[in-house]
Structure 1
Amino acid sequence: MHTTVICASVLWGIATGLTLPGAAHQFAGAPGQPWRTAVRCGWRGWLTRSQDQPAWWPVLLTAFACAVVAQAAGTAPEVAIWLLLVPWGVLLARIDIRVHRLPDLLTLPAAGAVVVLLALAALLPGHAGSWPRAALGALALAGGYFVMLLINPSGLGFGDVKLALTLGAVMGWYGWRTLLTGTVAGVFLAGAAAAMLLVTGRATRTSTLPFAPFMLTGALAGLLLGATGGA
């Protein structure tokens, strides 16, 4: 059964990964411009590939992330929620890397949906988390990032605070230690990347770094540890 879940997860990752370049193009509007929320040419617009939007790495990344999440969470009911979030996370990371923005259309509905879906998962047998703790985790992490935004507005955006709602719920589902581990991992990765860019001369002290990819990577690490009992 577990092998079947992993194989199905990989196929899900491939299928959703194929849509990400086109979806990212629609949402990755230039700063100061509205989001390109209208999909051109119907569903084909979401599958469009251009020279500056290679389609292979989102597919590989999404399929790999789905596989490791399925391996860690097994047949617990919450695995379906994690698999829904993987392509969403890859899409947000891609958008933030390109334009340093996170669309409300992707962050806010996801936060509400995750809290509701986890409440449903908590009613099913075999779940491995706590819904009240997930809800509190969402508020705690978003509150923490909001404070960080007030202290250092040049280092974070309000989109990161909204993203923290979903990530806090996901990690909080498994426990406060998981939440702390994933958060620290994301901050550490961002700091390491910034230091490397400074050392190599590819960035200056005034350069801005998209933070969402590191938040998402840290949350994934926390989720994997939490699902396997390591955090």
Structure 2
Amino acid sequence: MGRLSDWRDSAERADSRLLMAIVLMVAIMATQLISSLFFGFAFGAFAGTSIMPLVLAFAALTSYAVVLSLVWRNLRADEGISLADIGLRAGRFSWPLTLGLAVIIYLTCSMIVGVYVQVTGYVNEQQVAAWVSESQGMSPIVVGLLVLAIVVIGPAVEELVFRGYLQTALAEKIPPWAAVVISSLVFGAFHMELGAFPLLVMVGAAFGAVYQITGTLWPAILMHMVSNGLAIIQIFNGE
């Protein structure tokens, strides 16, 4: 009887995380759309220069604030969801070994992505690159907001949604490798960048593999931050 009760509790938690992942994805898309329209109109009425980088930064940060508030409410609700349930816990290994595994997977993924870029001639997310390039002629505050959104908060939020909630829920229903694949496909599709889809799936699979192997979300978040940070540096350097 105890095992059956534990199984039911686990299934309910998995269903709750899966539903929450969907809610959070919808929240990101809806909030970014509404915020982009709102800030675009508000700033456009007073600005004589391109304000797209500022609109992008405020829209992204607004959506992330909404998502984090929903996660906070979910954690406080009486549903059995805890920080550990979404990967924010100690891993299976010591931190040196965990970070070593993360570095190996990251470097392996980087080599595969490098081959993909060389073969396809893909240029890193051109719309984002254009917005970041435009921001170079603007206030350091705007640049700082973009970096905060793209390099710091964005990766943490996306890892919570796609790995912490989605992958964790799927891994309790299907084989872990299948959960990594599906969450990576959803991660790639969510960004709605057709040319970048294969690259995003590969990167997402690396994050998911690190999470699945180590048992903690922290190295995946760190990898995501490093990946986005290096991409921003390349854009600023005109590469």
TM-score, normalised with respect to structure 2? 0.31
Q: Select the structure with the greater relative contact order (CA < 8 A; seq sep ≥ 6).
A: 2
Computing the radius of gyration from Cα coordinates, the structure with the larger value is 2
More helix by share: 2
